[in-house]
């Protein structure tokens, strides 16, 4: 069966591409049609420009007077200079009058396993009595269970166990006092009811 339809493979718009004269005529006709719509009278625009130019400019207030800076001379030579630091890092701390009464941690002692944990992360979970000696059972924050007795250490402040009872473990910690010395502080860990 033969195709009676348009056998040309080109689209209908391709006819306009082949005819440059037709396109030029169409553009000229469109330009003439649009130019007839423009009003050549610009009297209203000229009137508006004259009105704007005839307006008086507003009065601008003058800038305020700048007061000159008054210099103040610091005349108190008998007092401390406020711009000098109170403490210089290269100066030595004040001498301790009584070094003999200043307790301190034993630096030669081997640290025990429970000294790696803060004291508030350790929990007393019970006691064990064996051969007339009471042992405390302590649970660390990692979940491991430890057995402690008097003179064992726990906590980060060199806490030495001084007493173990059924309901608490009593410790003496050695904490810095902020002036180069240490002081002893009593604390306890109470039994946690489960």
Total domain count, the chain: 1
Average pLDDT over residues 60-87: 79
In this prediction, residue 72 carries a pLDDT of 79
Asked whether residue 81 is domain-assigned, the answer is no
> Does residue 170 contact residue 186 with C-beta atoms inside 8 Å?
yes
Alpha carbon distances (Å) from 139 to 14, 36, 112: 90, 98, 15
Alpha-carbon distance of 145 to 142, in angstroms, equals: 9
End-to-end CA gap in the chain: 97
Asked whether residue 84 is domain-assigned, the answer is no
Range from 2-11, 30-39, 123-132, 169-178 carrying the lowest mean pLDDT: 2-11
**Confidence class for position 20, pLDDT limits 50, 70, 90:** confident
Inter-residue long-range contacts of 35-39, CB under 8 Å, 24+ positions, other chains counted: none
Asked whether residue 163 is domain-assigned, the answer is yes
- What CATH number is associated with residue 161? 2.30.30.830
Q: What residues make up the domain containing 165?
A: 113-190
Average pLDDT over residues 10-28: 68
> Does residue 122 contact residue 154 with C-beta atoms inside 8 Å?
yes
3-state secondary structure of 194: coil
Residue 74 has pLDDT above 90, yes or no: no
Asked whether residue 14 is domain-assigned, the answer is no
């Amino acid at each position: 069966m033969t195709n009676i339809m348009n056998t040309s493979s080109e689209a209908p718009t391709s006819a306009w591409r082949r005819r440059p004269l037709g396109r030029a005529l169409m553009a000229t006709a469109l330009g003439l049609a649009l130019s007839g719509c423009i009003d050549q009278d610009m009297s209203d625009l000229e009137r508006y420009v004259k009105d704007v130019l005839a307006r008086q400019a507003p009065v601008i207030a003058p800038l305020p007077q700048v007061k000159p800076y008054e210099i103040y001379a610091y005349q108190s030579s008998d007092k401390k200079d406020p711009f000098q630091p109170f403490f210089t890092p290269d100066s030595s701390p004040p001498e301790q009058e009584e070094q003999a009464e200043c307790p301190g941690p034993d630096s030669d002692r081997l640290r025990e396993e429970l000294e790696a944990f803060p004291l508030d992360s350790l929990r007393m979970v019970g006691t064990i009595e064996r051969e007339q000696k009471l042992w405390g059972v302590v649970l660390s924050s990692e979940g491991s269970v430890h057995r402690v007795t008097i003179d064992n250490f726990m906590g980060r402040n060199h806490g030495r166990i001084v007493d173990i009872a059924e309901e608490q473990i009593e410790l003496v910690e050695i904490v810095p006092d902020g002036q180069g010395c240490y002081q002893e502080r009593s604390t306890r860990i109470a039994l946690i009811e489960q």
